[in-house]
Amino acid sequence: MRSVPIKMTSVSPIVPTPKPAPVPKLIDVTPFEPLIIKVHYDGFDFKKLEPICDDLINTTNIKTHLEIGNAASSAPNKNKAPHITNEFKEFYKWLDEISQHIILNEWKMYKGHDYKVSNSWVNFHGKGGVTEKHHHGPTTLTTAAYLNMPDGGGYIEFRDPLEYHKGFYMKQYDDEIYGWKTIPAITGDVIFFPGYIRHRTQANTNPTEKRWVLTTNYMNY
């Protein structure tokens, strides 16, 4: 008997599309401290403080390499600093209390040290003025207090402190993800951060009003 070939057709079984697994609850178990903290202070009266700030800038009469364009800083003036000026006395009482809390309780730093103000200064930025990227070295805590923040005054930006490790070890570095991050602020806001984090400012785009910031460094003694 002659065999008749049978044509075999492969039929793939119909496999139902699996439903995506539900995303489980994500619990943040990061054991490290929060790096950047913002607190609001209601006690600034900039109309009274402006002539004091102008005097600090004019007495210094030195432009640092970090201030670009319409900007100036009193940082080089070591003998006339805001933290030893009577007009800022109440603010520094408040700042010391908050700073000690952040250093010891939020960041859980060593309690055997005294953490005190090492230096302070004021910056202004008129239209187009910026502060270039920099860091404050081994400073334990740096604060940026906004004495006057006009519309379009420009914010502070921070660089991811782990950018080198993420770029080198992960072999990829997305600047949009790991690059400069903006922290919005209004008049009276005080931003607390470790001095080792690189930071810079955006340009002030306000045509008539200056941005004024009071910067303070805390060191351990």
pLDDT digits (tens, 9 = 90+) for 193-206: 999 999 999 999 99
Q: Would you say 128 and 69 are in contact if contact means Cβ atoms under 8 Å apart?
A: yes
Which pTM does this prediction carry? 0.83
DSSP state of 38: E
Q: Is 97 exposed, middle or buried (0-12, 13-18, 19+ CB in 10 A)?
A: exposed
Q: Pick the residue with more confidence: 189 or 178?
A: 189
- Determine the pLDDT at residue 25: 74
pLDDT(116) > 70: yes
Alpha carbon distance 181, 157 (integer Å): 5
Domain residue ranges in the chain: 37-220
pLDDT at 91: 97
Q: Give the count of beta carbons closer than 10 Å to the beta carbon of residue 114.
A: 8
The share of the chain scoring above pLDDT 70, in percent, equals 80
CB 135 within 8 A of CB 195: yes
CATH of domain 37-220: 2.60.120.620
Assign 3 a pLDDT band (cuts: 50, 70, 90): low
* pLDDT tens digits along 4-17: 555 555 555 666 67
